[in-house]
Structure 1
């Protein structure tokens, strides 16, 4: 799925501009970000969209050499469920 990027956010809208999915992260010092919010519209749930959004943040933070602190409940659960996938980007 293709997402748009805007400062500290990746998101998808439908053709009318309705928000369908987003992930928001905030700087936390120079070397970390807080992953604070994920949202997926009910029309897209169950398709792995939230994980794809998190993976956009992961790819960006890897490129910038930064770590992620999962804060929102989805990100916390995802990082616990797939520790090997995210071990090199999660903040200690």
Structure 2
């Protein structure tokens, strides 16, 4: 699955899919080393295919590579964190 990212000074998103049917996970930047995952949206066309899980995994890998932490405010992402104790080193709060 090809997951892309858009990142700016105040936040960004990870996304995949066709234009107009993109699945995305958005984040806000609290500081240079802390992001807040605040929303995940997966269109019906991608439901049940692990797209949300792939976005969450991508966010964790990006945090590991960038040396930052994640505050999980999004209910979907928070649930994924509960299922993946191996992600704890990048989770804050």
Give distance in 2, aligned partners of 1:19 and 1:69.
26
Partner of 1:64: 66
Give distance in 1, aligned partners of 2:81 and 2:4.
23
Give distance in 1, aligned partners of 2:31 and 2:4.
25
What does 1:3-42 correspond to in 2, within 5 Å? Answer: 3-7=3-7, 8-14=12-18, 17-42=19-44
- In structure 2, stretches of 5+ residues that fail to align are none
Give distance in 2, aligned partners of 1:31 and 1:3.
22
Contact 2:28 2:35 in 1 (8 A): yes
Give distance in 2, aligned partners of 1:12 and 1:64.
20
User: What is the CA-CA distance between 1:47 and the residue it aligns to?
Assistant: 1.3
Aligned length: 89
Give distance in 1, aligned partners of 2:68 and 2:60.
9
Moved over 3 A (4+): none
After TM superposition, the score normalised by the length of structure 1 is 0.86
Once the two structures are superposed, what CA deviation does each residue of 1:27-62 show, in whole Å capped at 9, x if it has no partner?
112321000111111111111110111111111111
